[in-house]
Structure formats: C-alpha cells, structure tokens
Amino acid sequence: MSYQHSYAQSIADPAAFWAEQARSVTWYREPTVVLENNADGTHQWFPDASLNSCYLALDHQIEQGRGDQLALIYDSPVTGTQQSFSYLQLREEVARLAGLLRQLGVQKGDGVIIYMPMVPQAAMAMLACARIGAVHSVVFGGFAANELALRIDDARPVLLLTASCGLEFERVIEYKPLVDRALALARHRPRNVLVWQRPQAQAPLQAGRDLDWAQSVTDAQPVAPVELGAADPLYIMYTSGTTGKPKGIVRENGGNAVALHYAMRTVYGMQPGDVWWGISDVGWVVGHSLIVYGPLMCGCTSVFYEGKPIRTPDASAYWRVVEQYKVNALFCAPTAMRAIRKEDPDAELLRKHDLSSLRQLFLAGEKLDSSTHQWLERVSGKPVHDHWWQTETGWPVTAPCVGLEGSAARAGSSNRAVPGYHVQVLDDDGHLVGPNHQGAIVIALPLPPGCSQTLWGDHPRYVQAYLSTYPGYYHTGDGGYLDEDGFVYIMGRTDDVINVSGHRLSTGEMEDLVARHSAVAECAVIGVHDDIKGQVPLALVVLKDGAGIVESQLLVDLVASVREEIGALACFNQVRLVKRLPKTRSGKILRAVLRKIADGQAYTPPSTVDDPAVLQEIEAVLSGLARAS
Ligand code: AMP
C-alpha cells in the first residue's frame, strides 16, 4: 500500500478507509456503523462495536501464541533493577490486580487516579483498569500536590494508586506525603489509596483508607476482561490549556485501538515480535500510546525505562539499552538528545555500543532543531524522523509513514500528514492560505479515530476550545505552514502554552501564581528559548509602588511558589523587573512581541501598541537574556 493512495482514500472516504483499518482489531462485536457525526462538529467512530483494550494488549496476544514472548522489559538504572515480564506473566499480574480493584468496589466507568513513578506496576494499574472498564487517569509523578488535587477534583476517582517514592538521580522523592497533601486540599475523596511500597522508602499507611498493594493483591482473584462499548472511555489525560484548570482529555476504547494498531505498523513500521522503546514517563500521552497500549496491542516487546538520558550513569544510557535489548525503534523528545549531545558531542560513548538492531529513531514533543537532527543522524547512522502530535490526538498527525511505500521524510519539517488527518493552514479570518504562508494549523473534520472528542465532565469546553475558532476544523493551537509538497512546518504554539523539555505548561497558570505575590502589581510569563529544554518560563514583573523588595528576594519567593504549586518540572527560575508591560490600546499584553524580544528576534511593533517606548525599555532589560541564549 502506498502513502499517496492511503492518504487520498482516507480523506475522500474516511468511513471506508477506517472500516478497513478496523479489521485489524479483534472486536467482541464488530462495527456495523463506522462513523456518526454530531451537530456540534464532534463525531463517534464505531458506535455499535464492543471490545476490551486490555484483552487486545494481553489475552489476544497470548491467543496468538505470544504468551512466552517478553511483553515488558523494566530497566531501571536509578535502582539497579532489570526485570522482564512475558505476556503470560503480565496478564497474570494485571488480571489479579483487576480482581483487587473490583474487590475494592471499582466498577465500570469509575475514575481511578494513578500517581506513580516509572515502575511496571504503573502499567499494570492502567491495564487492570482497562480490563474492568474503569477510567484511569495517570498523573505525572513530578506534579506538586496542588496539581494532583486539581486532577482528583476533576476526575473524582473512587481509588488512587501510588507508590512510596520515585527516584530522581540520587534523590528519593517520597510520594505519599504529596498524596496526603493533595487529598487534604481536594474536595473529592477517593475511598481507598493503594500504595506500592518500594525498598527505597516506606510510606506510612492511614488505617481504614490506605492499603498495602503487594499484600492486598496476593489474595485477589484474577478476573477476565469485560466487554466495553467503543465509545466507553479508556482514560483521562490532563494537559495544560491556556487557563490554570487542566483539560481532561478523554480517550475512547474503540478509536484508540484502531488508531494505535494503524500507527504502530504504518507510522513506526513495527511488527509483532519487534522490540520497541517509547522513552517517556507513563504520566504523558506518549506513555499511554507508545509504552503501554500501542506496542502491546501490536504484539511487540516494550521497554519500560526508569532513568534519564544522562547521569544514569552517563550519556551512553540510551545506547546501552538499545544494545542490551536489541531495540528495533525508539521514540524520544529532542531535549533528551540535546542533553546527550552536550555531554558526548563526539559520540565517543555512543560508539562503544552495538546499535545494529536499531532501524530508526522518532522524535516528537517539541521542535526538532536541525542541528540536533543532523548530529543524531550522523552519529547514529540511522534515519531520524521528526513527527508531530498532541495529547488530544493521541497518535501522530504528521510523520513519515515508514510502513507505507512512497513515504518520504524532509529534514526541517515534521513531515506530511498521516492518512486520516486533513491538515491545512488558515489565516486569522479562517481562509485557507497557500503553500509556504504561515497561519494557524488546523485539521479538517472529521478527526480520525483515536482523537479525543470531549473533555471529562465538560463537553462544552471541548467544543469551545477546539471547534469554535474555525468552524469545520479542529484548532491545534500550533502555528506554521505547509510547503508545496504538503510537508508541515510547526513554528510553535499560538496560545499561552509553552513546551519545557517536551512538557506542556500554561503560562497563564504561572502568571496567576506570580500575581499572587504581595509585591507584584502586574506580570507576564512567557516562554523563552533554552538550548537544552527548548523553552523555559520567564516572568516579567511590575512591582507595586513602594513594594520594598529586591529582585533576588522576589525570585526566591516566586521560584518557591511555582515549585510548590506546579512542580519542579516547570523549570521556573527567571524573573526580571520592568517598569511597564507593553500593551495594546485595549489593554492586552503583547506577549508575542515579548517572546520575540526575549529570544532576540526581529519584530514589528504592532499598530495597536499603546506606547512604543515601552518596547525599548523591555529590550534594554532583556538584552542580556537574548545574548545568553
Ligand atoms: P503534548 O500535548 O504535551 O504532547 O504537546 C503537544 C504540543 O507539543 C504540540 O501542540 C506542539 O506545540 C508541540 N509539538 C509536539 N511535537 C512537535 C514537533 N515534532 N515539532 C514541533 N512541535 C511539536
């Protein structure tokens, strides 16, 4: 099958195209209806079909003769542990954990929060929820108690699963005090907290509410997968929007299964028996699609890594894993490769490893700069592919489809739209623009299977955030252009979301925290360029008259507050005092201009600027910053 043919068919007749792809999924009830459109622009794929995602990831693989093949390889340089699970072993663990969840009263449709480090029990927890139809929401372990509390109140879980600690380099981060704090802050209370005790820290358990995971699961009876509707939610994944309230992206069982079957083979070129390594944390969408559901549903062996690109123990960590497990393809964020390159620029460490199993590397999560791209291709000797997607889509929107004939990759671009995605570029008035003209990147409806169609408990917010700006199109929030051959170039977000080491964060939320400081009259938080992390936040602050605080003290206060409320992952450590902020005549802060000044780029003062002199003041304050980057 060629890329051109598949793509044309997927756009001309999406229902026929996806009916065909749906055949690779083993359903309990096959779809007789493929696509139903709703009046508000959303749609439902495979509305009358039924399946179970855990069955597809485990039981079905065993039925296909893969019971003894490795399903998961846990490699943890931070604890010195290596452990593997065959499909049969993983199913045994998951089926018993699912039995325990049921025993604790978790029912189909109930929310379950998983706040865990990169231990295999996190993947088991996800699959156990999927087995009984509970809706899991994995919250990244780096999030602070306040962020966890926000998600608890939104997801309203009946159960919370956690571990006693996570490990960051040499540091043990205790999770239980964070969970206890979050539960004290949250209005909603789950009935129970199930705690996986790790040897590095013992969490005290609160009688009546907290349970020891390992002890409780030994007595549980394994349970079989339940039949679920294609539209039943599999998971909620919170992601930053432009406000402080995270969006609960909902992923449905049916669309997700069809999309991931298609993506693993077509985009990533993976076949059953291959070894795949999705380098991410299970707390992100990549962890869901490319560590757990995608590779297992495709019958691959999935590497589950609790470590870093560098310092665990050095910049050869990735190459050691590739060699040891004969990894065939991997996914990672560009920031990881930039960190490796910084420590091993001449690839001396890389050269000590046999990378012959590796066919290609896929990078996404943020822009892949051409210098890192070229370096990686040169030192690895493998094709390096940039591709672009979002938490909302759950699988790649643009990518070289290595599993299709005629697939092409173009350096500098995140490549062409994957079959199913009609990617276009619109100007501010919603008109299509021609090749090489920048605008808002949108996807013409319908979105293909797998893409989120609603937000947990707030459908109107979904329609408002994604479908109302340009009727008939899904608004990605990214700006960029297409070239004359349909290759897509992503230039960055058009909203107030920044991307720090591939993590999406709301500057609005940080502004809110900065503005709460008693000395702050007004502020703006923007993302500025960082050589390793891609972007980092910078706060520009106008002090109240007579505030009597020095910049260094303000910095200490604000850094502590962002760490406490959002978490260290925000990498918030830059504050500059300014006399005024540049605004439009209607009072809107000119954030896009601020971003350009901070990054030392040329800009045209907008005609709506209230006082152009403010821009020069800001340039003077930020001049050192632009040189530093
Ligand atoms: P997330 O939902 O956290 O996966 O973040 C999605 C956002 O990350 C996108 O909307 C883009 O702004 C950015 N992003 C992801 N992949 C790429 C890429 N290959 N090139 C440029 N930006 C990317």
CATH number (domain holding residue 210): 3.40.50.980
**Atom 20 in ligand 1: residue holding the nearest Cα:** 367
Q: How far is CA 295 from CA 44, 126, 274, 419, in A?
A: 25, 14, 9, 20
**pLDDT at residue 629 in the model:** 40
The domain spanning residue 512 has which CATH number? 3.30.300.30
**pLDDT at residue 628 in the model:** 45
The residues, ordered by sequence, that sit 6+ positions from 576 with a Cβ below 8 Å of its Cβ are: 538, 539, 540, 541, 551, 621, 622, 625
Does residue 136 belong to any structural domain of this protein? yes
**pLDDT at residue 512 in the model:** 83
Q: Are 398 and 426 in contact (CB under 8 A)?
A: no
Does residue 354 belong to any structural domain of this protein? no
Closest ligand 1 atom to 387 CA? 19
Which one of 226, 255, 277 terminates a domain?
Answer: 226
Does residue 186 belong to any structural domain of this protein? yes
**pLDDT at residue 240 in the model:** 80
Residue 192 Cβ < 6 Å to ligand 1: no
CA–centroid distance, residue 366 to ligand 1 (Å): 5
Residue 414 Cβ < 6 Å to ligand 1: yes
Give per-10-residue mean pLDDT for the chain (629 aa).
96 98 98 97 97 99 98 97 98 98 98 98 98 98 93 98 92 96 98 98 97 97 98 95 83 98 98 98 96 98 97 97 98 93 95 98 90 95 97 98 94 96 94 94 98 98 97 95 96 84 86 90 91 94 90 95 93 94 80 89 82 91 65
Nearest residue to 534 (alpha-carbon basis) of 378, 398, 395, 363 = 363
**pLDDT at residue 18 in the model:** 98
Does residue 59 belong to any structural domain of this protein? no
Which one of 170, 197, 226 terminates a domain?
Answer: 226
Count: domains in the chain: 2
Closest ligand 1 atom to 414 CA? 19
Question: Which residue range is the domain that position 576 belongs to?
Answer: 497-628
Does residue 594 belong to any structural domain of this protein? yes
Angle of helix 14-21 versus helix 3-12 axis, rounded to 10: 120
**pLDDT at residue 373 in the model:** 95
Does residue 342 belong to any structural domain of this protein? no
Global confidence as pTM: 0.91
Does residue 113 belong to any structural domain of this protein? yes
**pLDDT at residue 627 in the model:** 46
CA–centroid distance, residue 25 to ligand 1 (Å): 28
**pLDDT at residue 170 in the model:** 80
Closest ligand 1 atom to 363 CA? 19
**pLDDT at residue 416 in the model:** 98
CA angle 110, 111, 112 (to 5 degrees): 120
Nearest residue to 487 (alpha-carbon basis) of 391, 363, 388 = 388
What is the rounded CA–CA span in Å between residue 387 and residue 13? 24
Q: Are 353 and 322 in contact (CB under 8 A)?
A: yes
Which one of 177, 204, 226 terminates a domain?
Answer: 226
Does residue 298 belong to any structural domain of this protein? no
